Structure formats: structure tokens, C-alpha cells
């Protein structure tokens, strides 16, 4: 998506992204060194600050509307990929469950037990 939106600004965006990521890593190393690698929450602040800075740089390079558009596209692509992954995993479980014989009697016993539990609440 960045390649499509960037056009000639792609190299500028890549250079700025490397700078932000490098700065974030450097700050995290400083935080870990100063706290003897004991988690203090400061590393979360550094990661959050890096993310905000990266977004601001993207907005500066591509424009506010283009960043919003890319974010919406990225979210839709992520949701579609996760749904596809869940569907594949569900298919695996469904295939295994099809191999287990379940009688109507056991289904009725389970439903009865579930209603007994619900009534006991």
C-alpha cells in the first residue's frame, strides 16, 4: 500500500521509517540499560512514542487523508486475513470432530445436563 501511495516519495518515507525505528530501538536500549533490564513501563512509553512519531512522519510525507486511507485499507486486509486463518483452523477442528461418533442419546444427555446447570444458577 505504501508503494502504491508513495510514488516518488517512497525513498523519503523509507528513510524516515528507518530513522524512527532506529531511534525507538536506541531509546529502548537506553531504558533497559538504565533499569538493569527490569520492566518499569518506560519501555511501553518508548514504544508508544515511537508509534506516534512514525504516524506523524507518515502524515507529513503522504498527507493526513492518505494515511487515514492506508490505515482503513490495512485494517480491512488484516481482518480478512485473520478471518481466513480462523476459517482454516475451524476447518481442521471440524474435520477431526467429524471423525468422532456422536449419538442422539449423548446429545440429549448433554442438553439435559446443560439445562440442569442453568437451572442451578
Is 67 domain-assigned?
no
Work out the average pLDDT over 13-35: 60
Q: In this predicted structure, which of 37-41, 76-80, 86-90 has the lowest mean pLDDT?
A: 37-41
pTM here? 0.45
Would the pLDDT of 35 be above 70? no
Q: What is the mean pLDDT of the chain?
A: 75
Asked whether the beta carbons of 6 and 62 are under 8 A apart, the reply is yes
- Examine the domain organization and report whether 5 and 55 are in the same domain: yes
**Which tops the pLDDT comparison, 52 or 81?**
81
Residue 121: predicted pLDDT? 86
Q: Of 22, 11, 9, nearest to 63 (Cα)?
A: 9
Q: Which domain holds residue 121?
A: 76-121
Among 33, 62, 91, the domain boundary falls at 62
Work out the average pLDDT over 73-91: 93
Residue 20: predicted pLDDT? 59
- Examine the domain organization and report whether 12 and 54 are in the same domain: yes
What's the CA gap between 75 and 82, in Å, rounded?
10
Amino acid at each position: 500500500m505504501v508503494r502504491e501511495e508513495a510514488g516518488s516519495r517512497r525513498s523519503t518515507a523509507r528513510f524516515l521509517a528507518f530513522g524512527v525505528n532506529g531511534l525507538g530501538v536506541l531509546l529502548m536500549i537506553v531504558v533497559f540499560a538504565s533499569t538493569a533490564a527490569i520492566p518499569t513501563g518506560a519501555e511501553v512509553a518508548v514504544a508508544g512514542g515511537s508509534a506516534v512519531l512514525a504516524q506523524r512522519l507518515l502524515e507529513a510525507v503522504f498527507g493526513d487523508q492518505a494515511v487515514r486511507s492506508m490505515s482503513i485499507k490495512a485494517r480491512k486486509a488484516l481482518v480478512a486475513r485473520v478471518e481466513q486463518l480462523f476459517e482454516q483452523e475451524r476447518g481442521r477442528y471440524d474435520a477431526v470432530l467429524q471423525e468422532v461418533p456422536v449419538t442422539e442419546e449423548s446429545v440429549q444427555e448433554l442438553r439435559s445436563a446443560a439445562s440442569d446447570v442453568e437451572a442451578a444458577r
